[in-house]
């Protein structure tokens, strides 16, 4: 029998075990394959990006070098401005020498030539030619027609001479002089063969392939001359300055070749894991069966004593035994809880509420909550202060443990004085304690107060809990307990004014049946008046108000009601002065304020909540009164900008230093007052002045740029064209006039 069950338990593991291992191995293959593919894609993308960046950087360096050369070298300007034949030969020689220097500095340049508009001649490295006799005349005429070039041309055939063979080049042309000239044009031709060799040197034909296609999808170039490549395109990157698309991928048969090696390793690991798992299952099965065998021996011994011997398997016998034990335990626990907790607590609630009084005597004899028949009784209400924080700081088990400790604590304190206590939690945060003693015992109010004070200090020192305790009146019978409970509950309604960690005797409360609200309303009126005239004296009056609350010991709900009245008076007085103040007094904002008041558990906390709220309200009220000074500041700022807009250092930081405010705040004031950003206003003033100088003076563009606050003509020209619509040179040529 034992072997039969042991074998079944052992072999029942195998399906799950084999399935788990199979899934793990399969997932391992998938993960390895996906990782290898992902890493291959990343590597291919990085290498392709490097090639594209290298080509773009090379072309960009050529373009930048050409622009710097044409802009800074006066030789080219001299050539473009030459009209006399006897002076032209020297300029041609110097220009050709500079062009040869550019070719020498960059091996990718196939050729370079200059076109001069004045006589329609073309200067190449071989000399000066007329446009009609120039071999590359067709491309040059097209460039002269387009004029604007921001990128390299498509690959084309470039002939050195009309009868010579052609070579593949890409070309870039710019008008001269830089940047807005119309005196000529420079054309640079880049040898495609050099670019192709550069790409071949950076690719491995045995592992990967790369090809370049144009915007029409036509093949321009394939690395190592292999136009047809078997493999999936993994990366496509478009070059902005040439318009080419670089496509690359891994050749078929190379992408996952190494994965097979890893696969064999994983298969070996999987087989080894299965073998080790089988060995472990045999071992752990035999080891785990030993305690089951001991358990079965004990159960069979009990069955022999009871005269019953089960012929079922071990698991069935153990299941029946455990089911019987659990059933008996649950039945016992159910009766225990019903009798000692539920009914006992219900009896306690009935006594303090005065319900079913006729059956109290019988139920007291049944449960015997007190070991004697008391001659006198008193009800004590114990409440945990800041119950929300208590629930937040302690876990559920810790809360139950602390509550159980409090129940036993007060009972033990009473027993030391020959009194007996009965404690029950009547709500989440409040515990009720019924204390009884004999009629002949000399227990009075002072004795009760001393005992409760000792318990309060012990809880504060040892458990770190804050409690408020209300002691009801002393009564002579169970029927009078509801009156004592009501008195204790009334005592706890003065927690804000009397304090939290203290004992409140119901008989010591002041006898104030009605609230004398007229004297508080007078203080409210004085606070509102100070608000109205922006007098800080309202803070002192607020302190006096709360000191009055404390002296009068009024109820908690009366304090909150009076503070609601104060907020209503402030709303009527200043709530309609501005949108910000109106928003402060809307329903959602006041709901937050009243919620904070409800959460406050001491009078000091209530005062802090109100002070914080009133301080923020006072700040908004004062800021509304000071709005006029902000308008004066922004007007002065506008005048200063109009007088100093030609200063190139004029900025938000300059304004912040000048007017002693932050740059961000200066920008905000400017936007709010004029509905325009500071930068737009400054550019508008500068462009208006520039239009006047262009139309009314003969100063050059660089001088005008300096006079309107720009360091160079390039930046000035770019901004002028964006604002006015034409370049400064075209503005003057078209004889445009500034708008009024």
pLDDT score of 134: 84
Q: Is the pLDDT of residue 263 over 60?
A: no
Which residues are CB-contacts of 171 (< 8 A; sequence separation ≥ 6)?
Answer: 139, 143, 152, 153, 156, 158, 187, 188, 189, 190
Q: SS3 string of 504-528?
A: EEHHHCCCCCCCCCHHHHHHHHHHH
Q: What is the mean pLDDT of residues 675-679?
A: 83
CA distance linking residue 684 with residue 680, whole number of Å: 6
CA distance linking residue 600 with residue 610, whole number of Å: 11
pLDDT score of 150: 65
Which residues are CB-contacts of 256 (< 8 A; sequence separation ≥ 6)?
Answer: 33, 36, 37
The CATH number corresponding to 73-198 among 1.10.287.130, 3.90.1300.10, 3.90.380.10, 3.30.450.20 equals 3.30.450.20
Q: Which DSSP category does 338 fall into?
A: I
CA distance linking residue 346 with residue 335, whole number of Å: 15
pLDDT score of 628: 44
For residue 614, the Cα-to-chain-centroid distance in whole angstroms is 32
Confidence of residue 740 (pLDDT cuts 50, 70, 90): very low
Instruction: Say which residue, 274 or 377, is predicted with more confidence.
Output: 377
pLDDT score of 328: 76
pLDDT score of 306: 55
Q: Is the pLDDT of residue 154 over 80?
A: yes
Residue 237, judged by CB atoms within 10 A of its CB (0-12, 13-18, 19+), counts as middle
Q: Is the pLDDT of residue 337 over 70?
A: no
- 628-733 domain in CATH 1.10.10.60? yes
Instruction: Say which residue, 456 or 495, is predicted with more confidence.
Output: 456
* 3-state class (DSSP) for residue 148: coil
pLDDT digit string (tens) for 116-134? 888 888 888 888 888 888 8
Go through the chain and tell me how many residues it has. Answer: 740
Mean of all residue pLDDT scores within the chain: 77
Q: What is the mean pLDDT of residues 32-58?
A: 81
Q: Is the pLDDT of residue 4 over 80?
A: no
Which residues are CB-contacts of 199 (< 8 A; sequence separation ≥ 6)?
Answer: 51, 55, 210, 212, 221, 223
**Of residues 64, 449, 363, the one with CA closest to residue 241:** 64
Confidence of residue 1 (pLDDT cuts 50, 70, 90): very low
Confidence of residue 267 (pLDDT cuts 50, 70, 90): low
Q: Is the pLDDT of residue 19 over 80?
A: no
Confidence of residue 88 (pLDDT cuts 50, 70, 90): low
Q: Is the pLDDT of residue 152 over 50?
A: yes
pLDDT digit string (tens) for 350-369? 777 777 766 666 777 766 66
Print burial letters for 311-343: b (CB count within 10 Å at least 16), e (below 16): eeebeebeeebeeeeeeeeeeeeeeeeeeeeee
- Measured from the Cβ of residue 300, the count of other Cβ atoms closer than 10 Å reads 14
pLDDT digit string (tens) for 425-459? 888 888 888 888 877 777 777 777 778 788 878 88
Query: What is the CATH number assigned to the segment(s) 370-508?
Result: 3.30.70.270
- The CA distances from residue 634 to 641, 646, 670, 671, in Å, are 11, 20, 7, 10
Confidence of residue 5 (pLDDT cuts 50, 70, 90): low
Highest mean pLDDT among 23-32, 77-86, 209-218, 618-627: 209-218
Instruction: Say which residue, 19 or 629, is predicted with more confidence.
Output: 19
pLDDT digit string (tens) for 499-544? 555 677 766 665 554 445 666 777 778 887 777 766 778 888 888 8
- What percentage of residues in the chain have a pLDDT greater than 70? 79
> For tokens 């509550």, what's the residue?
403
Q: What is the mean pLDDT of residues 539-558?
A: 78
Backbone angles phi, psi at 103, to 5 degrees: -65, -40
pLDDT score of 513: 44
CA distance linking residue 142 with residue 134, whole number of Å: 14
> For tokens 């304004």, what's the residue?
655
Ranges 29-38, 166-175, 546-555: which has the least confidence: 29-38
Q: Is the pLDDT of residue 259 over 70?
A: no
Q: Which DSSP category does 423 fall into?
A: E
């Amino acid at each position: 029998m034992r072997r039969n069950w042991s074998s079944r338990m052992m072999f029942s593991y195998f399906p799950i075990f084999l399935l788990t291992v199979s899934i793990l191995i399969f997932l391992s293959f998938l993960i390895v394959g996906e990782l290898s593919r992902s890493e291959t894609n990343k590597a291919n993308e990085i290498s392709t990006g490097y090639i594209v960046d290298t080509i773009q950087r090379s072309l960009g360096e050529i373009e930048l070098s050409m622009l710097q050369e044409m802009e800074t070298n006066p030789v080219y300007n001299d050539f473009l401005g030459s009209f006399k034949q006897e002076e032209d030969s020297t300029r041609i020689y110097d220009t050709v020498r500079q062009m040869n220097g550019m070719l020498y500095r960059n091996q990718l340049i196939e050729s370079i030539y200059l076109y001069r508009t004045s006589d329609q001649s073309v200067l190449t490295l071989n000399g000066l030619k007329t446009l009609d006799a120039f071999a590359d005349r067709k491309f040059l005429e097209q460039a002269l027609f387009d004029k604007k070039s921001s990128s390299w041309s498509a690959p084309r055939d470039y002939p050195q001479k009309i009868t010579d063979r052609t070579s593949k080049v890409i070309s870039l042309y710019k008008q001269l002089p830089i940047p807005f000239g119309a005196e000529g044009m420079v054309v640079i031709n880049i040898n495609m063969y050099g670019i192709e060799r550069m790409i071949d040197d950076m690719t491995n034909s045995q592992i990967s392939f790369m090809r370049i296609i144009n915007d029409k999808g036509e093949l321009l170039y394939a690395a190592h001359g292999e136009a047809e490549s078997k493999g999936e395109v993994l990366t496509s990157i478009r070059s902005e300055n040439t318009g080419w698309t670089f496509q690359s991928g891994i050749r078929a048969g190379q992408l996952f070749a190494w994965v097979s090696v890893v696969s064999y390793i994983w298969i070996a690991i999987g087989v080894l894991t299965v073998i080790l798992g089988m060995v472990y299952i045999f071992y752990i099965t035999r080891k785990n069966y030993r305690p089951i065998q001991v358990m079965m021996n004990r159960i069979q011994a009990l069955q022999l004593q009871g005269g019953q011997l089960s012929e079922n398997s071990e698991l069935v016998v153990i299941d029946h035994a455990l089911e019987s034990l659990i059933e008996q335990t649950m039945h016992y626990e159910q009766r225990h809880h019903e009798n000692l907790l539920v009914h006992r607590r219900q009896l306690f609630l009935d006594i303090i509420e005065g319900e079913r009084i006729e059956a109290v005597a019988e139920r007291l004899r049944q449960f015997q909550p007190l070991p004697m028949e008391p001659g006198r009784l008193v009800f004590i209400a114990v409440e945990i202060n800041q119950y929300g924080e208590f629930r937040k700081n302690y876990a559920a088990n810790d809360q139950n443990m602390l509550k159980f400790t409090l129940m036993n604590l007060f009972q033990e304190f009473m027993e030391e004085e020959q009194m007996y206590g009965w404690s029950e939690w009547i709500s989440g945060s409040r515990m009720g304690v019924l204390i009884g003693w004999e009629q002949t015992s000399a227990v009075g109010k002072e004795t009760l107060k001393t005992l409760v004070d000792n318990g309060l200090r012990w809880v504060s020192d040892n458990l770190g809990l804050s409690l408020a305790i209300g002691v009801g009146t002393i009564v002579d019978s169970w029927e009078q307990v509801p009156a004592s409970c009501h008195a204790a509950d009334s005592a706890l309604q003065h927690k804000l004014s009397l304090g939290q960690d203290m004992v409140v005797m119901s008989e010591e409360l002041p006898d104030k049946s009605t609230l004398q609200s007229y004297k508080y309303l007078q203080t409210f009126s004085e606070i509102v008046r100070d608000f109205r005239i922006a007098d800080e004296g309202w803070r002192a009056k607020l302190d006096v108000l709360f000191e009055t609350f404390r002296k009068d010991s009024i109820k908690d709900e009366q304090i909150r009601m009076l503070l609601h009245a104060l907020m209503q008076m402030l709303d009527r007085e200043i709530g309609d002065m501005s949108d910000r103040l109106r928003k402060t007094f809307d329903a959602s904002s006041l709901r937050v304020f009243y919620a904070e008041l409800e959460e406050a558990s001491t009078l000091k906390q209530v005062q802090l909540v109100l002070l914080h709220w009133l301080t923020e309200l006072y700040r908004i009220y004062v800021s509304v009164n000071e709005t006029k000074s902000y308008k004066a500041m922004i007007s002065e700022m506008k005048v200063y900008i109009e007088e100093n807009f030609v200063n190139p250092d004029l900025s938000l930081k300059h304004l912040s230093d000048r007017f002693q405010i932050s740059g961000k705040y200066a920008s905000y004031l400017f936007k709010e007052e004029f509905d325009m950003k500071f930068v737009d206003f400054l550019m508008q003033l500068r462009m208006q002045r520039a239009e006047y100088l262009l139309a009314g003076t003969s100063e050059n563009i660089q001088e005008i740029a300096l006079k309107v606050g720009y360091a160079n003509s390039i930046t000035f020209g770019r901004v002028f064209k964006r604002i006015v619509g034409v370049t400064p040179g075209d503005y003057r040529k078209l004889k445009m006039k500034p708008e009024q």
